[in-house]
Structure 1
Amino acid sequence: MCKRYFKGTETRILRVIRRGKQKLTKKQREEMSSEEGIRYTRFDISNEMEFSTIKKLIDEDLSEPYSIYVYRFFLNQWPRLTYLAWADGVDTPIGCIVCKSDMHNGVRLRGYIGMLAVEKSYRGRGIAKKLITLAINAMIEEKCDEIMLETECSNAAALHLYENMGFIRMKRLFRYYLNQGDAFKLILPITEKSCVRSTFLGLNSFPKNAIL
């Protein structure tokens, strides 16, 4: 079904799913290293320094910073879906990704990438891609049917990155930001539920002649 409606993305989606199904040790899941001296950990909800650094990283990257309540909403409820990037010799994180997962229309579990930031001096080293991959794998482990996000239409680099990882443009959101900028809503289908209208998923049986 996904193959029919999302042509050209099947290989990338299956690659992400296979990565998410790999059996990793607890240490591998919690901390991963790369050749560039960057390691990755899950957010520690008891660590106030990590919380403060996430807020600082995101606020510096946004023209319209979030209130502290937005951070509390994500981090207190879904700490397991937040990852940090650390550079050797640096005491605070240099990158982060913040996500959540909840039911959408009562019929599918939707993952959502809410925030992503990497310090400017560390960009271009694949850190953002690694953070996204870790978050996708975590949401697949949580049995999400799809993963969504919004990004600025003018952010060509972000669009290129997400689309290379299998995300598809769903719709354009006009004047989405306070600065009147437009956004694209992107989706990464994980299961067949992502390709079926919510109306049909709510039925006891799926109409064979339904047009999706």
Structure 2
Amino acid sequence: MTTSVDGTGKSPLPDLHYIQYDPDKEAQYLTAIRELISKDLSEPYSIYVYRYFLYQWADLCYMTVDSSGELIGVVVCKLEPHRDGPMRGYIAMLAVKKEHRGRGIASKLVRMAMDGMIAKDADEIALETEIDNIPSLKLYERLGFLRTKRLHRYYLNGNSAYRMILYLKDGVASKQSQMPYDPLY
């Protein structure tokens, strides 16, 4: 068995390119992104959800393509203040084609997204993943994410999820997020 640089035991694929999403290439990539994500994730997302992320935070969305330009993997993210508290990065979607898994592609995509959020002064990064998605849990825990909450029946299919957070700065975990005051809330 060979050992790859990322320790997966599988050799990396040659001729893979990691690129930042470009809204000008929507016609080339958006359909492929939707198809790839819909195969793996349990939530059915409309075109508007994809555009919400990809138009506003294209600089935090990364793709893996092969030498022919075929989409192999994608991570879709955002970064904004969380309830008037810390700047929270959010990993909304991550998918890699089944036949290319186990070669460090997802890890590299997530690291690129993390680096992009850190460069934009993120305090923390959050995500949700199904409680029975062991490969995903292992990936995120290996990158330093902590399980912070169990979300019962979180997904439309009835599955529960873990909220996972990576705290990037000292003291962020103890910071209180502030909800805007609304006397009718």
TM-score by length of 1: 0.74
C-alpha distance in 2 between matches for 1:44 and 1:199: 32
Amino acid at match of 1:74: F
**Which runs of structure 1 show a deviation greater than 3 angstroms over 4 or more consecutive aligned residues?**
none
Deviation at 1:159, TM superposition (A): 0.5
Higher helix share: 1
C-alpha distance in 1 between matches for 2:177 and 2:78: 23
Taking only the aligned residue pairs, the percentage that are identical comes to 45
Residue in 2 that maps onto 1:77: 56
Deviation at 1:66, TM superposition (A): 0.5
Q: Which of 163, 168, 176 is the equivalent residue of 1:190?
A: 168
Deviation at 1:50, TM superposition (A): 1.5
What is the root-mean-square deviation of aligned Cα atoms in Å?
1.5
Provide, for residues 99-118 of structure 1, a one-character-per-residue CA deviation record: whole Å limited to 9, x for no partner: 00010121210000000011
Deviation at 1:137, TM superposition (A): 0.3
Q: How many residues are treated as equivalent by the alignment?
A: 166
C-alpha distance in 2 between matches for 1:197 and 1:44: 34
Secondary structure of the corresponding residue to residue 114 of structure 2:
helix
Q: In the alignment, is the contact (CA less than 8 A) between 1:118 and 1:127 conserved in 2? A: yes
Q: In the alignment, is the contact (CA less than 8 A) between 1:44 and 1:50 conserved in 2? A: no
Unaligned runs of 5+ in 1: 1-33, 201-212
Amino acid at match of 1:109: M
Q: Does residue 1:131 correspond to 2:109, yes or no?
A: yes
Deviation at 1:197, TM superposition (A): 2.7
Q: Does residue 1:140 correspond to 2:118, yes or no?
A: yes
Unaligned runs of 5+ in 2: 1-11, 179-185
C-alpha distance in 1 between matches for 2:170 and 2:77: 22
Secondary structure of the corresponding residue to residue 42 of structure 2:
coil
Q: Does residue 1:115 correspond to 2:83, yes or no?
A: no
TM-score by length of 2: 0.85
Q: Which of 116, 125, 139 is the equivalent residue of 1:161?
A: 139
Deviation at 1:55, TM superposition (A): 1.2
C-alpha distance in 2 between matches for 1:148 and 1:199: 14
C-alpha distance in 2 between matches for 1:61 and 1:141: 29
Deviation at 1:139, TM superposition (A): 0.3
Deviation at 1:35, TM superposition (A): 6.4
Residue in 2 that maps onto 1:65: 44
Secondary structure of the corresponding residue to residue 198 of structure 1:
coil
Q: Does residue 1:49 correspond to 2:28, yes or no?
A: yes
